[in-house]
Structure 1
Amino acid sequence: MDSRAEAVYREMLEGTPGGVAELATRAGTTEPEVREALDRLVGLGLLTPSREAAGGLRAVSLEAGLEHLLRRQEEELAKRHHALVAGKAAAARAIAEYSALHPDADRQGNERLLGLDAIQARLEVLTRRLSEECLSIIPGRAQSAASLEASRSLDEQALNRKVRMRAVYQESSRNDPATFEYAQWTTERGGEVRTTPVLPGRLLVFDRTTALVPIDPDNSRLGALCTTSPGIVATIVALFEQTWEAAVPLGAVRSRDPEDGIDQTERELLKLLGSGMTDEAASKRLGVSARTVRRQMSALMERLQAASRFEAGLKAAQRGWL
């Protein structure tokens, strides 16, 4: 019941004679609004036909009116409860039917999610169920605008529930404004973010019971594997913790080792190229362009006073950089 209907009801309780015009004056409103309020009060059972005035209305006593309203609310709550129970039962049946018919799920708790839409749908469910912790490794220099937008509302809901969120980004993501801004946004709301030059494949772990990893690390659009297998999840969690320990907080600046004169990114670059990787392959692992790799390697060769990359590798090894 809104304030206008309440005012009309109070005036009717007073029992002062008069019609719609008088009610409008006393209630401080207009005649059309009074008529609307009267209809609403009749619908609520607070006004009934008068036994004295033909076609007139009388107000039900306040005690009887409140009792009537409470009874109506109880009936509505009962209906909602029955509807909720029926909805849960229907959802349970639908889930059971889906599990029985879905060809990509197996008895070991593994399911293939094919395509970005399927992944996003599962992420929405898993994020809403989060109660304690979410772990993620996010390789690549830049995240797409669509990916960031899809993640923001889900992450915000989890952070508002005080879920601990830990994420490791690639060091090169600091150079992408949108990705770096999102990482800062996460930390400002209580999340923890670290960065490291080289990362394993993308992964997500929910409450240490469910993990998502891409089917093809080189093409996340193909889909993901969702697993609740304890052995697989435990291995993925261990990989995350190892990566987390080697990373530095988002706000920290990596400095060169005062003894070695080399920072972690340069050390990783030397290792990658020393293992036989091409500039293009190394750039992909570091999340930078091949041009950046060549520029960084050129600077290292100059510092090492090496005429070739082979000589640079030998001198780096001699200095203990590798």
Structure 2
Amino acid sequence: MLGAIGLDARQESAYRTLVALGAAEVTDLAHRLALPELDTESTLRRLERQGLAAQSSAGTGRWVAAPPAAALGALLTRQRLELEQAALAADLLAKAYRTEAAEPAVHDLIEVVTGASAVAHRFLQLQLGATAEVCALVTGSPVAVAGLDNEAEQRAARRGVAYRVVIERDVLSRPSGLTELTAALGREEQVRVVDRVPTKLVIVDRVLAMVPLAERGAEPAALVVHTSGLLESLLGLFETVWREALPLRLGLHAEVTEGQAPGPDTVDLEILSLLLAGMTDTSVAKQLDLGLRTVQRRVSGLMELARVTTRLQLGWHAYEKGWVSRDPEPGTEAGQAADAD
């Protein structure tokens, strides 16, 4: 918890114990921490250098805790100052990079990242560095990284970064797949589904992209592509897959007002979304923790509500009535028609 200001687990535990006691002998503290006395004294010396502990004037071997408000406040202030200086340095480096990279050499437009750990680290780094938008194609059987990083997505969402993600249908069958997707939709990310994506891909702020390089079975490797014609091609690939994919709709809150015609509720829309994504009744029931008969009964109710006799007709009706939508882009004829409605 205090690692952010430079304390390791042992130092934090020692400081917390010392704060609780007010003052303690090295022997007593070592016993409470289950550490050898030499290790305990060494830890106290490090706390002393950080201004968190001091030797008592009462006698050798007795230590007292520095007041947390003052001691930790000083460390936090120093940490904030260092972060501000680092942010300034990063901004200056970014400006220098943009100046020097105005006309980069061809061989500098692509990075080759090798090894599972290096690929995963670079992948996370790209997400954490996003400022505007992350576009991703997610496969059902990732090699080095398992889809997008949930913590990185949460941080990005707090910074206002938009996510557009296309997943393979197999992702819905993962044990935690539906839970993760529901959380993503709750962060207002846009998620769509296709049978199969052509490749795993992540594009950050339309200036960097990452694609896998090595075949399955070989050492994981990936390409990081900078602004170039190749990046434009990858953007075009993503947009093509995005247009053809079906929106995923989960965990919605349906609102019914007085006098409004009856319509599908939240569970109905979840069932309909998963069915349109290509899942069977049995798979839908399992994912939503419903009985198979419940799913089939609700589908029958939707068909009766839509006054259709086949599921194909139900799908057409769902799009026509706006129960599900491809969310057309503003400015297109479809988008203008949707805005007019």
TM-score by length of 1: 0.45
Based on CA coordinates, which of the two structures has the bigger radius of gyration? 1
Higher relative contact order (CA 8 A, sep 6+): 1
